[in-house]
Amino acid sequence: MHLPTHLSSDQIQSLLPPALAHRFTESDADAGLARRSFLKLATASGFALGAYPLMANAQQDAKPAATGLKPDQQPAAFVKIARDGTITVTVNRLEFGQGTHTGLAMVLAEELDADWSRVQAVHGNADPAYNDPAFGMQITGGSTAIKHSYTQYRELGARTRAMLLAAAAQQWKVPVTSLATERGAVIGPGGRKLTYGALADAAMQQPVPAQVTLKDPSRFKLIGQPTTRLDAKAKSSGQQAFGMDVRLPGMLTAVLAHPPVFGSKVASVDDAAARAVLGVKAVLRVPTHDGGEGVAVVATGYWAAKQGRDALKVQWNDSGREKVDSEKQLASYRALAAKTGNIKHDADMSPLANAPHKISAEFVFPYLAHAPMEPLNCTVQLEGTGAQAKATVWTGTQMPGLDAAAAARTLGIKPEQVAMHVQMAGGGFGRRGLLTSDFVTEACTIAKAAQTAGLSAPVRTVWSREDDVRGGYYRPMHVHRAEIGFDAQGKVLAWDHVIVGQSIMAGTFFEPMMVKNGVDETAVEGMGKPYDVPMRLSAHHPKLNVPVLWWRSVGSTHTAYAMETLVDEIARTTKQDPVAYRMKLMDSKAVRHRAALQLAVDKSGYGKKTLPAGRAWGVAVHESFDSVVAYVVEASVDNGTPKLHQVTAGVHCNLAVNPKSVEAQVQGAALMGLSMCLPGAAITLKDGVVEQSNFGDFVVPRITDMPVIAVHIVPSADAPTGVGEPGVPPLAPAFANAIARLTGKPLRELPFKLA
């Protein structure tokens, strides 16, 4: 995901639809926890620095704190210390495989001087305290968790530590300056010791300090150390519960028959056979989030609900809905690519005419599904009516605040009547961070319809794998056209580049900031950089009846491929080493790019070791989300099939809070980058209907496709940058460049087509 770097509460209100705007009031953004309110957060179990998870309406009535701190700056909603010394850190981001729970807990625990063996982490909820401090709204995306909350969580830990020190000084009647902390305890004169658990109640009586002094990095004990993730044991042993695993007394399960053509309506439905399935409780005709209609089957369990849905006989009315055809779409995109679009960057293209060397290239990138291992799901419990009505929602969401507001709007109740319980999610890659809140609103619509039909139980709406693959919101299809002129030394004289693809931001409340001069910033991000080339960059954004969304690393999924394969082609044409040529072509500011690339080169043995017969080197480097990843790969072609053998990564993400998580993220990202290369990885449409449905016809890498991956991090003490997404973009071009060196033919299309 790629969003503006900062949104104030006023900006959010002005951009949100009226039905959502009231969810983000100034009091939400700026209300503090008064000391009186803070003290009320005590619990019998110990020192609860927060009524945790804190409910949104608890803060709406609070007066500004004497310290002037905002809710996301106070420990109240983030730290709970039990009397046995267990420290629970509430994390303001969804954990769906990226290691955020461990990373942010490490950052807070570092400044707290906590005993790491006693630290655990949980999700926050829809309370404004859990807003991203830079975006000003709740969001997990854009590889921003550590980047945006690094200082925030350090300060939260330091404030908590200061309160514990103040409590110990008061109890011992000694100056605070005479005390120290280590491994979850305060150490006093003469070796006296009080554990944080023992100090919990007294520390609660201390004011929250506005200003704190953070540790010098030279004193870090946790940050920068390879650390096993807090959720590793539960996930590796199959004990971790995800949103799909929510179980409530009397709970029913629903599946929804979506229209095959996006936005279509139900013409007629014969549900007799569905109602006859054992366990089916109701068949409900419901509106879908996009203005269409669907048919929900509610049953005692998933299998009964699915069997009931399979038995439905639905006639769909798709009149007035565009029926996208991938072949026709490609032809129309090619026609658009032949024309200059809306200008993003402009440069003099006159040198193209007489350039000694030219490259004319067309690239084709298909729609891509997110395909997380855990398909979409959402559980909704409705209780009461009128002013006493309330809803509880359990789901893995990247935007709990927006989803809670959307749930309230759908159910016709106030936002404070919705309790959001964020669940661990089994992947997502952007699909759980949707501005339309599609799977949440549809789950709420079904729960409301079930209640109207006399079913008072909680309803869990579950998407099958087929629903997930066919259910819309794909990485947009793109076509690129490039005309490049350069001399015998590889100096680029003119680079004319056109991108055609749907806009992700058009029609959303981010459009005013993210679409400039008709160009969606997410579609062109990464173009040109870090190379010193005169480029005219333009874009066309046609509108089609295919829902599109950010996909892990967003626009860089295609821009990096075009840039890095073209740069490599210039190097081959002018008979230059691809690494040396990149180093020469980079602008003077590309210090981090050079460092990442050189590290990957050095660690891979590039140019020094002899590769086995039939193998070739491939190189690519790209910056996204303020981090740089370079890959040096070894690949071969066996009977017309490309094979990736070895990947060496050089990563510049500034300070690596947890090197183990960085390594895991880059390994996973490289695998996802590989997925773009494999035949069968495309989403295609015929007569408006998605042709793929499951892993039998939408290919993902198998263990036999996985190369050996070595990840190396450039040492840095600078503030951390993003890691979740930057590993995806350069993998495919590095692989393609190796294949091009073996075959002599550049690969212009993903997935790869060698024939």
Length of the chain equals 755
How is residue 286 written in tokens? 């419901």
Position 2 confidence tier, pLDDT thresholds 50, 70, 90: low
Query: Residue 204's pLDDT is what?
Result: 86
Position 49 confidence tier, pLDDT thresholds 50, 70, 90: very low
Cβ distance 561 to 733 under 8 Å?
A: yes
Query: Residue 68's pLDDT is what?
Result: 86
Mean of all residue pLDDT scores within the chain: 92
How large a percentage of the chain has pLDDT more than 90?
A: 90
Angle at 149 between CA 148 and CA 150, to 5 degrees: 100
Of residues 377, 400, 381, the one with CA closest to residue 389: 381
Instruction: Specify the 3-state DSSP secondary structure of 482.
Output: strand
Domains and CATH numbers, the chain: 9-236 (3.30.365.10), 243-319+376-462 (3.30.365.10), 339-368+473-743 (3.30.365.10)
Q: Give the pLDDT confidence of 135-148 residue by residue, as tens digits.
A: 999 999 999 999 99
Query: Residue 3's pLDDT is what?
Result: 60
Cβ distance 547 to 473 under 8 Å?
A: yes
Q: Give the pLDDT confidence of 327-339 residue by residue, as tens digits.
A: 999 999 999 999 9
Of residues 546, 557, 554, 547, the one with CA closest to residue 685: 546
Higher pLDDT, 694 or 54: 694
Q: What are the DSSP calls for 72-135, one per residue?
A: GGSGGGTEEEETTS-EEEEESS--SSS-HHHHHHHHHHHHHT--GGGEEEEE--S-GGGS-TTT
Measured CA to CA, the distance from residue 146 to residue 724 in angstroms comes to 10
Query: Residue 64's pLDDT is what?
Result: 40
Measured CA to CA, the distance from residue 355 to residue 278 in angstroms comes to 73
Question: By mean pLDDT, which of 23-37, 55-69, 576-590 is the weakest?
Answer: 23-37
Mean pLDDT of 353-378: 98
Instruction: Specify the 3-state DSSP secondary structure of 440.
Output: helix
Q: Give the pLDDT confidence of 283-301 residue by residue, as tens digits.
A: 999 999 999 999 999 999 9
10 has a pLDDT exceeding 60: no
Q: Which residues pair with 378 in a beta bridge?
A: 461
Mean pLDDT of 709-713: 98
